[in-house]
Amino acid sequence: MILLDRITKTYGNKGPALERINLHVEAKEFVVIVGQSGAGKSTLLKLLTREEKPTSGKIIVGGVDYERLKDKDVPFLRRKIGVVFQDFKLLSNRTVFENVAFALEIVGMSNREIRHTVPKVLEIVGLKGKGDNYPSELSGGERQRVAIARAIVRQPKILIADEPTGNLDPKHAWDVIRVLEKINKYGTTVLLTTHNQEIVDKLRRRVVTISDGKVVSDKAGATYK
């Protein structure tokens, strides 16, 4: 599903943000990526979504070799990869339903399909009945779940959750984590970055630790040391 082979990324004359990274993630895995700020996690995610290109090395995602990927095909790649951020990025003047529907409108889905699809996705993330609410009327955890709904509504093969609980209290953080686990059970590959040691320890999933641009640990069912 995801293969990074000896990936190096440098910016200008600085030392490498990532140095000869090797990583293989199977389809339907749930992988937690940890590391201090500046370790290279964000660069890794930007490479996967093709916001950045590697300085050297090979990236293959879902059978797509990024070296051969034309710029015009990048939007099609990104439809296979949902991304959730720490800061929600919701449209404040649109309802919950409209925020999620927007992701379908931009790929040309019909209104009939949108009306059929969005309520199902809102139910998956635990927001049934909240479609007419605006983001300002929701808790932080609920807003993050709207962001997750928007990210998965096009049924991506991969979901990248970049510090999705960073701004949330423990209860709402766990609400979000449970939704990610539920999505993973449906067959979506999940990559989660987090600084939350309790979440890592309790999840007991595969943990990849990045430090100074290198993978220093890759363990199944690991805790955050």
The SS3 of residue 220 is coil
Question: Which pLDDT belongs to residue 221?
Answer: 74
Amino acid 224: pLDDT: 57
pLDDT tens-digit map of 89-129: 999 999 999 999 999 999 899 999 999 999 999 999 999 99
DSSP letter assigned to residue 16: P
The pLDDT value recorded for residue 223 is 61
Cα 26 from Cα 190, distance rounded (Å):
10
Quick check: 101 and 118 in contact, CB under 8 A?
yes
> CB within 8 A of 121, min separation 6: which ones?
100, 149, 152, 153
- What is the pLDDT, as a whole number, of residue 167? 87
pLDDT of res. 26? 97
CA distance 65 to 43: 18
pLDDT lower than 70: segments of the chain: 222-225
Domains, the chain: 1-80+158-225 (3.40.50.300), 90-155 (no CATH)
Find the DSSP H helices in 125-216. Answer: 140-152, 170-185, 197-203
